[in-house]
Amino acid sequence: MDTLSQNIQAVPLNHYIILCSIIFSIGVIGVLTRRNAIVIFMSVELMLNAVNLLLTVFSVFRGDPNGQVFVFFIMALAAAEVSVGLAIIVMIYRNTNSLDINVLNRLKW
Amino acid sequence: MSLFYFVAFLSILFALLVIFAKNPVHSVLYLILTFFTFTIQYVLLNAQFLAIVNFIVYMGAIMVLFLFVIMLLNLNKDSEPIRSNFIKFAGVIAGGCLLVVIVAAVKALDKSQPVILRQGDLGLVKSLGKVLFNQFLLPFEVSSLLLFSAMVGAVLLATKDKQPSNA
């Protein structure tokens, strides 16, 4: 494990920020371009994970364990969010027989 | 150092495949691979506790939930209606603009310091547990309440409605 963590010593902080923003933008593009509700949900998970990784990187960068504890809380929150969200998706499918989010445009008003 | 760039390339590739795969089952499988590359990043940062939690929670629990829902709803065929090309183009442009703004803001900073692990035991269970159960004891207990309410809510939402005559 020590030899592995020696490998990161030369990676600048900016490269981590750029990696995480690329993953976050891919999640945004997925939310904007797909119509399947489950794929949109997966894109949201992708965005959540990018933020988690960046928070861990800053925690290591500052030598502060609080950031990693915060990531742990975000993971617990994500588990709760996924279970409720998938239950809502199952309910939508049962009521409308499709997962196309355009069916849900009656929620506008 | 080069290991970081290789894993970063893999995670970007798999993330792109997640949103461009036609079949939702393929999307979930690519999402598992993306989360695995994130686990490797955590190991590289010596955040061993988070690596294990990411492995168990995301790749174990959440992905099984996604796969079960897709297979229960019988969605393992590409039945997604085609969205118009204009919407797709506009979505990609909007996401690309967000990326360009963030990258330009990062480029405007000075040359950054490399990420160096100063304390070797930062991400281990021992040091994280000391912080979690001293400073963050109350949020930890509250999060158990959150998980409980999420479980109750999921069961309530996913069970079939009773017939109105029974009510």
pLDDT tens-digit series, residues B52-72: 999 998 888 888 888 888 888
How far A108 CA sits from the closest chain B CA (Å)?
19
Q: Using the predicted structure, report yes or no on whether residue A109 has a pLDDT greater than 70.
A: no
Q: Using the predicted structure, report yes or no on whether residue B125 has a pLDDT greater than 50.
A: yes
Per-residue pLDDT, averaged over A6-23, amounts to 81
**Which residues on B lie below 8 Å from A39 (Cβ)?**
18-19, 24, 27, 80
Closest CA to B131 of A76, A60, A66, A64: A66
Integer Cα distance of B87 and B93 in angstroms = 10
B 102-141: CB under 8 A from A: 102-103, 106-107, 109, 111-120, 122-123, 127-128, 131-132, 135-136, 139
Task: Write the CB contacts of B49 (distance below 8 Å, at least 6 apart in sequence).
Answer: A68, A72, B123, B124, B125, B128
pLDDT of residue B167: 41
pLDDT of residue A8: 52
Q: Is the ipTM of this complex over 0.90?
A: no
CB of A81 within 8 A of CB of B149? no
Q: Using the predicted structure, report yes or no on whether residue B166 has a pLDDT greater than 50.
A: no
- Residue B13 in contact with partner chain A when CB distance is under 8 A: no
Per-residue pLDDT, averaged over B144-154, amounts to 92
pLDDT of residue B80: 60
Query: Mean pLDDT for chain B?
Result: 85
pLDDT of residue B70: 86
More confident residue, B78 or B144: B144
More confident residue, B32 or A7: B32
pLDDT of residue B152: 93
- Residue contact B81–A100, C-beta within 8 A: yes
Integer Cα distance of B152 and A84 in angstroms = 9
Global pTM?
Answer: 0.87
Which long-range contacts link A67-71 to residues 24+ away (Cβ below 8 Å)?
A68/B47, A68/B49, A68/B50, A68/B122, A68/B123, A68/B128, A69/B128, A69/B131, A69/B132, A69/B135, A69/B136, A71/B50
Per-residue pLDDT, averaged over A54-60, amounts to 91
Tell me the two tokens of residue B62. Answer: 């959440």
pLDDT of residue B74: 75
